[in-house]
A and B are shown apart, each in its own frame.
Chain A
Amino acid sequence: MGEPQQVSALPPPPMQYIKEYTDENIRKGLVPKPPPPIRDSYMMFGNQFQCDDLIIRPLESQGIERLHPMQFDHKRQLKKLNMSILVNFLDLLDILIKSPGSIKREEKLEDMKLLFVHMHHLINEYRPHQARETLRVMMEVQKRQRLETAERFQKHLDRVVEMIQGCLASLPDDLPQSDVTDGVCVGTKSVSAGSSFGCSSGQAPILKTEPMDVEDTGASCMAAGDQDKNVPSSKTDKTWDKDAAMCSIIDEIA
């Protein structure tokens, strides 16, 4: 980490492949596709690998004597190993006191080494379990985050709907009739060409049976304002004025 940069020791990137990936080749579709995954054995950083390699290789395959039975409880076995290591360490101390030069010392060291290897191996056998557990926790966290995000969106949506309704309700009833409807006339005509009901406020409003144009914000506002109010025409006129005003406001914004 702290050592001076020795960049020359690092391998160069595979230029023989990289040089194919020019903008032009990509445009022409001449670049090679990813190679198919290897199914048997392959080399990686100077080591031989097998595709069906077990993640944790059994001790026997590594030429190490196995001390525990085929069926065993990891926890108990680990505790037993720990105890054995302690006892062996005491034995080793004994040997060191009584006859430090004897061959027994070497044997004890070998025994202890084997015990440590076993312990390490048993811990390693938990690795896949650990990996699965890590994934599980990660996914739970992601799930929670997504639910929270969805909830927040819902809240925002509710608030926006509320705001729009508030705006609609708070629009004054006595808006200057003529110029507002004129403005709307232009606005609505561009939105929904066929229904020019916006211009003639005196006419009986037939807009309820008309299919509402929901593509435009203004139009959907009108829809929201009108659909939940099944009221006689005099009152509809009033709401209609509000809608018209709303539309002209939105037209101005847009």
Chain B
Amino acid sequence: MTPVVMETDEQARNRFQSELEFVQCLANPNYLNFLAQRGYLRERPFINYLKYLLYWKEPEYAKFLKYPHCLHMLELLQYEHFRKELVNAQCAKFIDEQQLLHWQHYSRKRTRLQQALAEQQQPPQQPPLHGNTTAK
């Protein structure tokens, strides 16, 4: 309704920090459930806002994020089907569990991936260990 006037530096800073926090809240499936149950996820401006928030995927913004799962959720939130499902507490719980399982098993899965990759590369040469100073 109000025409957009140029923000002052202070306002821009505040908005940056608010949006930084809000976008990261999206990493929490219980919060998504809360938003869905309050009916936010059905409101047009809110959906538009979610689209606008995709700017957090840009490198110069993404480096501020401490909870990177939020970007994945943000992408999923662009789909109506996902937004609708979130009203269901079961759905939020399922996502929550999957996140925990991911953290639990990821390093093992990655090791397996790495091994598969090493086997695929024909000459089984050992990649040099980076960052490991051999100086004694």
Q: Which residues of A does B touch, CB under 8 Å?
A: 1, 5, 7, 10-11, 13-14, 17-23, 25-26, 30-32, 34-38, 42-45, 71, 73-76, 126, 128-129, 132-134, 137, 140-141, 144
Contacts and interface: CB of A to CB of B under 8 A. Distances in A.
B99 to A, nearest CB: 10
A36 B15 contact: no
B66 A44 contact: yes
Contacts of B134: 73
A128 B131 CA distance: 9
Contacts, number: 117
A43 B17 CA distance: 7
Contacts of B18: 14, 17
Contacts of B89: 5
A21 B45 contact: yes
Tell me what chain B mostly uses at the interface: helix, strand, loop, or mixed. Answer: helix
5 contacts: A5-B34, A5-B89, A18-B43, A19-B45, A45-B21
Contact of A37 (B7, B61, B97, B136): B61
Given A5-B33, A10-B34, A32-B7, A137 B110 contact: yes
Nearest to B106: A134
A72 to B, nearest CB: 8
Given A10-B31, A37-B64, A42-B16, A141 B52 contact: no
Interface of B: 2-4, 7, 12-13, 15-22, 24-25, 30-31, 33-35, 37-38, 40, 43-46, 48-49, 52, 55, 60-61, 64, 66, 89, 93, 96-97, 110, 113-114, 117, 120, 130-136
A11 B34 CA distance: 10
Contacts of A45: 21, 24
Choose among A18, A19, A74 the residue with the greatest number of B CB atoms under 10 Å from its CB. A18
Nearest to B134: A73
Contacts of B7: 32, 35
A25 B34 CA distance: 27
A141 B13 contact: no
A17 B19 contact: yes
